[in-house]
Amino acid sequence: MTVMYGRNEDRTVVRMNADAEFHLFPLLKSSAITGSFSILFVVFVTHMQNVYLYILCMSTLLNLDFMSSKIFAKKVYTGNSVLENQSIYVENGRIAGIQPCSALPIAAPQVDHICPGFLDIQVNGGAHFHFTSKPDEACLRDIDEACIHAGTAFVLPTMITASFDHILRGIQAIQTYKLNNPFTSILGMHLEGPFLNPVKRGAHLIKYIQKPNRQTIEELLSIENGVIRQMTVAPEVFEDGDLQLLLDSGIAIAAGHSNATYEEAVKAFDAGISQVTHLYNAMSPFLHRASGLVGATFNKAEVFAPLVLDGKHCSFSAAAVAYKIKKEKLFLISDALFLGREKKDFVWEEFDAKLIDDAYVNSDGNLAGAAISLADAVRNAVQILGLSIREAVEMATIRPAMAVGLSDQIGKLEIGYPARFTIFDDRLENFKVLTVD
């Protein structure tokens, strides 16, 4: 059995055996879990001939029945509805049933709000390491742990424009990491580049941006081995027919870092591109005589549009406009350069970034990535945009899952879906990942 909790201070990990991993977190007074208590807790664990000592001094531990296969929730966000006072039954890591419960069960864990695990399809780094600069298992573990810590249950680590050798290393690292860590939050890769428009490259290094052609596309598809779940391209830089190779590959293709005209963008959407990358950012803007990629996105009701809802990548008023237009096709991403705001500055080759006013900015003054988590974006959607909790949750769960073609596997709290949840309190202050296996 595996039980994991995320987003709080002072995490302690207790590894009991190869099949069980308990992440115990101190909870604030506003904890969504009832029955917490403080204790001096000393654990000796022998594993693989190594002895580990874990000490929790005056930590607030969770009063949970770890062998229970039932969870009681005051509010359950299923992906298409909100249920109140429900018991969720889990068998073999899957949701086995959801039933109304009139009285609080004594033995079952109790939470205020529970929803499908948050899915962030654009995360560049963890607390300490950046995936493009360090495409290895250590970085993936850092991203994995930082996402769990922030309440994000599923993630696509993002590799920005880099050499093919670098991209291959990232693909191989994800393959190996997923094989060695079956409970990981990492689903695959978001490859942001290298077929971008140099005019809208943003912080991407121009030396690695490539003009797409059939040979390089076929080479990329031959090495990705199902790891690349999403790819960002500038559709206007492709020759006729070459873009179709990517669209036919099964990878979710998004238009981004693009200077496409309105007509070029509509043509790309009609060909099969079904989403954009970070709406408003690094794309041709909406002007009254040239409505660009933004205008085409607004005018195509079926196109998904993710927002970085930090007030930096776009104003909250611009986000409100997008919400009114895109409706259920609008969803949230973090686009975090690093999570947790511990990393203050960063350099990789000619790419540089500093944390300034709660966003990462390069030496040219361009945004180089966000500092928020997906949970921060959800909170902003409710508290600043005035959305309902239900809609904000769906913008972090079912909608991104639909955008990348994974809604038959994750994004819903329904029978048969994985028992990997995000739980949170009434004040939207504490977000945690709960996994029952």
Q: What is the rounded CA–CA span in Å between residue 347 and residue 25? A: 32
What is the amino acid identity at position 220? Answer: L
Cβ atoms 6, 62 nearer than 8 A: no
Q: Is the peptide bond before 194 cis (omega within 30 degrees of 0)?
A: yes
Dig out the tokens for 281 from the structure: 């950012």
**Residue at 116: amino acid letter:** P
Residue 134 makes CB contacts below 8 A (sequence gap 6+) with: none
The whole-angstrom separation of Cα 1 and Cα 67 is 8
Query: Is the Cβ–Cβ distance between 120 and 400 less than 8 Å?
Result: yes
**3-state SS string for 76-98:** EECCCCEEEEEEEEEECCEEEEE
What is residue 196's DSSP assignment? -
User: At 283, which amino acid appears?
Assistant: M
Could you give the CA distance from residue 358 to residue 312 in angstroms, rounded to a whole number? 8
Told to judge if 144 belongs to the known catalytic residues of this protein, a careful annotator would answer no
Query: Which residue in the list 120, 144, 335, 425 is annotated as catalytic?
Result: 335
Closest CA to 411 of 22, 71, 119, 191: 119
Whole-angstrom distance, CA of residue 148 vs CA of residue 143: 9
Helices 164-180 & 214-223 angle (0-180, nearest 10): 20
Please list, residue by residue across 22-51, b when 16 or more beta carbons sit within 10 angstroms of its beta carbon and e when fewer do: bbbbbbeeebbbeebeeeeeeeeeeeeeee
The neighbouring-strand residues paired with 88 are 71, 98
Catalytic residues: 335
